[in-house]
Amino acid sequence: MSTIDDIRRYWDEDAATYDDSPQHRPTDPMVRAAWAAALATALPPPPARVLDAGAGTGFLSLVAAQLGHRVTALDLSPGMLERLRARAAGAGLDVETVVGPATDPPGDRFDAVVERHLLWTLPDPAAALAAWRGAAPNGQHVLVESLWGQVDPFEVIRAAATRVLHRMRRTPPEHHAEYAPELRGSLPLGSGTHPGRLTTMVTGAGWRAPRLHRLRDVEWAERMALPIPERLVGVTPRFTLLAN
């Protein structure tokens, strides 16, 4: 069984409960509005051809479609895309779905490529970034990422405090299971996504003029939606990394 097969199987199994986590599919109107504003700022004016790489159940795809863009959702997991299609149909939105790895985008030319929290789970994130450059040679690149994992000491402490509060409140886990240690250890970004390293990778893949933006409005909205103990601890720092 290859690494790609292991990853596909994990996300197919995770699809059944993935959207139960507000981190994956926010349901609070304030949080959703903050995300919509952030994406509207990052993407070209609509209607643009947008590739959502690693779309999952389609949170960003659906927001982009609601903003008036023509969206193609690419994901390795058929189970995830099945959920996306159901949500798009329920919202009356037209989103094209393509099953495949992030390193093999559809042959169409896009005005923008967007991803959210995908790079950490790719066996070769540099190859994916280069492939997206080819898919949007004159377009906009939008990485939607968070500072998490072992790459920042303060975030390690904050995340540990959040886990304690979740155990006390018996908060359901965000995923059906953890990645196997050997699988996570094989991933170049499996220990976390630091904006400095991502900026270096983006420019190395041929993208130009990188711009880093902290998503403070999203963080504020997410924090306001939390119960008091967790609000004091805060949320994971979120950012977009844009390039041309």
Residue 137 phi, psi (nearest 5) = -60, -25
> Is pLDDT of 169 > 90?
no
Architecture of domain 3-243: 3-Layer(aba) Sandwich (3.40)
Q: Among the listed ranges 87-101, 160-174, 186-200, which one has the minimum average pLDDT value?
A: 160-174
Task: Give helix then strand counts, H and E, for the chain.
Answer: 10, 7
Average pLDDT, the chain: 95
The secondary structure of residue 138, as a DSSP letter, is T
Residue 221 phi, psi (nearest 5) = -65, -45
> Is pLDDT of 1 > 80?
no
pLDDT tens across 47-56, in order?
A: 999 999 999 9
pLDDT of residue 107: 86
Query: Structure pTM?
Result: 0.95
> Is pLDDT of 42 > 70?
yes
pLDDT tens across 187-208, in order?
A: 999 999 999 999 999 999 999 9
pLDDT of residue 114: 98
Cis peptide before 26 (omega within 30 of 0): no
The arithmetic mean of pLDDT across residues 114-142, rounded, is 97
Domains of the chain: which residue ranges? Answer: 3-243
> Is pLDDT of 102 > 80?
yes
Could you tell me whether strands 70-75 and 49-53 are parallel, antiparallel, or unpaired per DSSP bridges? parallel
Band (133; pLDDT cuts 50, 70, 90): very high
